[in-house]
A and B are shown apart, each in its own frame.
Chain A
Amino acid sequence: MAVKTVLPFGPQHPVLPEAIQLRITLEDESIGQVLPALGYIHRGIEKAGEKNDYPLNVYLVERICGICSATHGLAYCLAVEKLLGIEPPPRANYLRVVWTELHRLHSHLLWLGLLADAFGFESLFMQIWRIREMVMDVLEKTAGNRVIISVNTLGGVRRDMTDEQIEETLNTLAECERQLNAILPVILEDYTVKKRTVGKGVLTAEQALRLGAVGPTLRASGVAQDVRMTGYAAYGELNFQPVVEQAGDSYARAVVRARECFQTIDLIRQALQRLPEGDIQTKPRGNPNGKAIARVEAPRGELMYFVVGNGTKNLERMRVRTPTLANVPALLQMLPGAEFADVPVITLSIDPCISCTER
């Protein structure tokens, strides 16, 4: 009879840059029940959001996540703009798309690099991060910072892009696309990569919906759901379709992210080519009152902000539901039945962001 062993995976583990623990019940090499242990780095940002003045929260929420900071800033601004009853000018909406998509591109490249690293494929990891570095340079040149770019503000954006910056961004993206075309077949067609990912951590479409999965995790299971289709910011005026794969395994999730890199480059191109002239901010007036929800598609999936204003400069409540919180239950479904050696790859396949989870 198999002996049951409970093994702690994390909170410190080479494949996890951040602290989370999975308590894995093993029967020999096979995984049984898995339970997450959270709370290692919980920061109480929802509470801090009630203490700050509402304009200051833009900078607070950007610090929830280091990888998709612009997405958090955008979601918060969209929600509070609903309470204030203001609309950003069209140019600001297009610039928001550009910076949000640049964040998606560098987030997906970071993840593809980490995936290569998880297999021990060091040179591929370096190659992909070298491409990512070009995106970081674009962010620094256009927004002044590499990661926390603080471009979103209530009623629009804080920075404009000059014609030279637009041209340089388009040129860099073309180079990025050329290098990605050369390197992605390596990661997606490689025998070792396929051996480690195909059929690992399978999630069916029905399970994914029932477990509340979002983003690439949901789309890799054959569900064509992308919050960008609701048309917030300027997405309603751009031409794109959700990237969908059917297999629902770790490989399908990698393919979705790889294909989304090209979709993102295309969206940035469309936005920059159609960039309207005009102002970049509508000045906010008054204090927020009422209740509003904003949902955006972060690199890891649907990000939701629910804000409640009470007519003062402080919010009554700021609720943040980050995509990794929604994908953790799906992970708990993917792991049982797999072998212990596959835990790092399957865990990585949902692209966990623990600083998002532990707001």
Chain B
Amino acid sequence: MGEAHVQHRELPDIENVQVVEKQHLLQRVQELAAQGMRFITTTCIDNGEQFEVYYHFDHHLELTHLLVTIDKNETLPSITPVYFCAFVAENEMKDLFGLRVDGLNVDYQGRMLVSEEVPAPPMRKREASERRNGDGS
């Protein structure tokens, strides 16, 4: 199974990107783990409207990426039940983007890298209504 839920898409610059729906993420990650993939990291990209979350894997120096696109207020399941080591990357996304991750094995509650004095996730792009002085960050 699994293949039915995965759509392959062509990108001019990154190869082996598989677009996965949020509800099928854990299942797909389990399949990759069964193939002996090494988890590298995750990358969260705030495209203004949504979060694009990439999961990067390696197998004998070949890269595979999973891409999940979710709304900013949605919650993503943690992949730490499959890959323990993903807690560092997932906590980082939680800290820096305010991405909601459910089921983390080690949860720093958004305070792994940033302290209580930081009012908002620093890498999350603010909504147009919140911007000041034309600063797009």
Contact = CB atoms under 8 A, between A and B. Distances in A.
B45 A329 contact: no
What's the interface size class on A, roughly? 35 or more
A132 interface: no
Interface in B18-74: 33, 36, 38-41, 43, 45, 54, 56, 58, 60-61, 63
Interface stretch (A104-112, A248-256, A262-270, A314-322): A314-322
A225 B61 CA distance: 8
A39 B87 CA distance: 15
Q: What 4 A-B pairs come out closest when comparing CB atoms? A: A329-B85, A321-B41, A290-B13, A212-B85
A321 B115 contact: no
A304 B63 CA distance: 11
A83 interface: yes
A57 B106 CA distance: 33
A229 interface: yes
Given A317-B43, A326-B85, 17 more contacts: A35-B106, A47-B96, A209-B38, A210-B84, A211-B84, A211-B85, A225-B60, A225-B61, A291-B14, A292-B13, A293-B14, A304-B41, A304-B56, A306-B56, A317-B45, A325-B41, A329-B84
B17 to A, nearest CB: 9
A301 to B, nearest CB: 11
Nearest to B61: A230
Interface of B: 11-14, 33, 36, 38-41, 43, 45, 54, 56, 58, 60-61, 63, 83-85, 87-89, 96, 106, 111-115, 122-123, 137
B40 A212 contact: yes
B88 A293 contact: no
Contacts of B61: 225, 227, 229-230
30 contacts: A39-B114, A42-B113, A47-B122, A50-B137, A51-B137, A82-B13, A83-B13, A209-B36, A210-B33, A211-B85, A212-B40, A212-B85, A225-B60, A225-B61, A227-B61, A290-B13, A291-B13, A291-B14, A293-B14, A304-B41, A306-B43, A308-B45, A317-B43, A319-B41, A321-B40, A321-B89, A325-B41, A325-B88, A326-B40, A328-B88
A229 B58 CA distance: 14
Contacts of A319: 41, 43
B45 A358 contact: no
B105 to A, nearest CB: 10
B113 A358 contact: yes
Nearest to A46: B123
Given A291-B14, A358-B113, A44 B122 contact: yes
Contact of B87 (A83, A321, A329): A329
Contacts of A39: 111-115
Given A44-B122, A211-B85, A329-B88, A302 B114 contact: no
B14 A292 contact: yes
Contacts of B58: 302
Contact of A326 (B41, B63, B115): B41
A7 interface: no
A174 interface: no
B39 to A, nearest CB: 5
A38 B112 contact: yes
A150 to B, nearest CB: 26
Contacts of A46: 96, 123
Contacts of A304: 40-41, 56
Contacts of A212: 38-40, 83, 85
A39 B13 CA distance: 33
Interface in A299-336: 302, 304, 306, 308, 316-317, 319, 321, 325-326, 328-330
Given A321-B41, A326-B85, A47 B11 contact: no
A216 to B, nearest CB: 15
Contacts of B43: 306, 317, 319
Contacts of B88: 325, 328-329
Contacts of A210: 33, 38, 83-85
A319 B40 CA distance: 12
Contacts of B39: 212
